[in-house]
Structure 1
């Protein structure tokens, strides 16, 4: 009887130790995300200094740094705050108009790989939304290649995703006929999907089935993603920091699914675009830029 009690007590203590260890486990990773767009501005009629300014503003919009805090089951992925220059995108009059939207999050992006659920904080058109949905189930193919990322041995995996085809980006003045043709083509592409090959590099040195953005589902932390025109690279990892962060699901905002949120954004963006076009026609024209991501 004593031996039975001793074995039972030992098993319970061991279970408690393992559970506590899992609860204490936490890490923080910094990711740099870059999206590349091929745009020829040589025929825009702009002076060289103006082209240089436009390209710099595009770079600021398409290169971002994210902080990823994770434990064994949950994570928070959020963009690091950046100072916005006066007159830049979204600030001041006469700046380049850039509308970036898609499946990402403007606030905390919470993932739980145990429940396979996600919650994204998004602010759009002055309203706060909580986009709740199931995690994307990726069909990963394990490859034979390996490489080092920092001090971590990483393994290659690939999968494919579908996304809406992107319209050609135009900059500068166009005739009404050219603008009408662009709008027609953009409308046609709204129902066209393109297949993108996604390459991931993950390390089993950090046995967490998670990664940046929507990505997860491999037997180790994903340190690099190459998905078409977007690349995400981990630049720093801190394991078990002294000061633990709180990883909790966001709770403020109107709850919608991803499909519902995409519909809201699409309708509001169409409304904004029509209003802008009407204002431009009244004022005598002027070029603008639209980037759909």
Structure 2
């Protein structure tokens, strides 16, 4: 029994050496799922949509809102990218392809926690952008709650963050009676925009579960800043959960920032997206607008 503390010290020492190695690397697989119940209820209430069309739309929405991502990380940086899959012909066309791009599909999300910078390549409406900016400084509130994820003891942390106008995952469709009431007022005051069709919360609460057994301040997408790898994070509508972890994989990933695309700040990119969305909406006004609403999953 007297040897037990010494054994524990040795184990911790060996573990510390493993994570301190310059060539240390880890790989995590994450499953991302976004709630679509609101969209489904709106579809069910649309008399213009046949049961066959509704089934097709729901299947495409599932592919758009349920994705698998791979995170390669070391002590300083990481790359986060959607798992490559062969798409069925016609599966990602028209409004669904554009919506998928707006949801952040594709591209490589690189973050450097030492420099507190990130770089992500985005494709939007046929153009490539290279978004470079400063990582969000999450003000995490630690909790005493714990749970096990994949055999790792995890701790709960929460943070309240503002919502970007291009964070389409957190948009809420307005109720029809609210839209009609606002429409009658706006017709005599100002021109409407596509943002008038949705409710955008000012802020959301993030809930993250991290493990100190992997002492790297990394996580999926742009999440970071905790004393351990984030294995699960939820923003109210989307849950990203780690399903597989590999420490020091045999095949090392090249953890470098993407370089393709027009360099732009996050603020300028958001403004570009909103402007293009407005132009797209105006272009489809009066010519198949109702059809576009159906194709966009409304």
TM-score of the superposed pair, with normalisation by structure 2 = 0.78
Q: Residue in 2 aligned with 1:138?
A: 138
Structure 2 alignment gaps of length 5 or more = 1-16
Q: Residue in 1 aligned with 2:264?
A: 256
8 Å CA contact 2:73–2:79 kept in 1: the answer is yes
Aligned-partner Cα distance in 2 for 1:82–1:180: 46
Aligned-partner Cα distance in 2 for 1:51–1:251: 40
8 Å CA contact 1:197–1:227 kept in 2: the answer is yes
1:58 paired with 2:61, answer yes
Question: SS at 1:121's partner residue?
Answer: strand
Q: How far is the alpha carbon of 1:126 from its aligned partner?
A: 2.0
8 Å CA contact 1:33–1:232 kept in 2: the answer is yes
Deviations 1:160-192, CA, capped at 9 Å, x for gaps: 112147241689xx99x9799899485457895
Q: Residue in 1 aligned with 2:226?
A: 218
Q: Residue in 1 aligned with 2:116?
A: 116
Deviates more, 1:108-117 or 1:19-28: 19-28
Q: Residue in 2 aligned with 1:69?
A: 72
Aligned-partner Cα distance in 1 for 2:297–2:175: 9
Q: Residue in 1 aligned with 2:156?
A: 156
Q: 1:170 to 1:291 in 2, by over 3 A?
A: farther
8 Å CA contact 1:166–1:189 kept in 2: the answer is no
Deviations 1:218-238, CA, capped at 9 Å, x for gaps: 000000001110100000011
The aligned runs of 1:240-251 (5 Å cut-off) are 240-251=248-259
Question: SS at 1:54's partner residue?
Answer: helix
Structure ID, larger Rg = 1
Q: 1:96 to 1:258 in 2, by over 3 A?
A: closer
Structure 1 alignment gaps of length 5 or more = 1-17
The aligned runs of 1:1-293 (5 Å cut-off) are 21-37=20-36, 38-39=38-39, 40=41, 41-45=43-47, 46-90=49-93, 99-100=99-100, 104=104, 106-163=106-163, 164=165, 166-168=171-173, 184=192, 186-188=194-196, 193-280=201-288, 286=291, 288-289=293-294, 290=296
Aligned-partner Cα distance in 2 for 1:191–1:178: 14
8 Å CA contact 2:174–2:197 kept in 1: the answer is no
Q: 1:138 to 1:169 in 2, by over 3 A?
A: same
Aligned-partner Cα distance in 1 for 2:251–2:44: 51
CA RMSD of aligned residues (A): 3.3
8 Å CA contact 1:169–1:291 kept in 2: the answer is no
Q: 1:62 to 1:279 in 2, by over 3 A?
A: same
Deviations 1:124-159, CA, capped at 9 Å, x for gaps: 222221100000000001100111101111011111
Aligned-partner Cα distance in 2 for 1:138–1:196: 12
Q: State how many pairs are aligned.
A: 266
Indicate the structure with greater helix content.
2
Q: How far is the alpha carbon of 1:102 from its aligned partner?
A: 5.2
Aligned-partner Cα distance in 2 for 1:44–1:34: 25
TM-score of the superposed pair, with normalisation by structure 1 = 0.80
Deviations 1:71-105, CA, capped at 9 Å, x for gaps: 000000011123323333416xxx86762455846
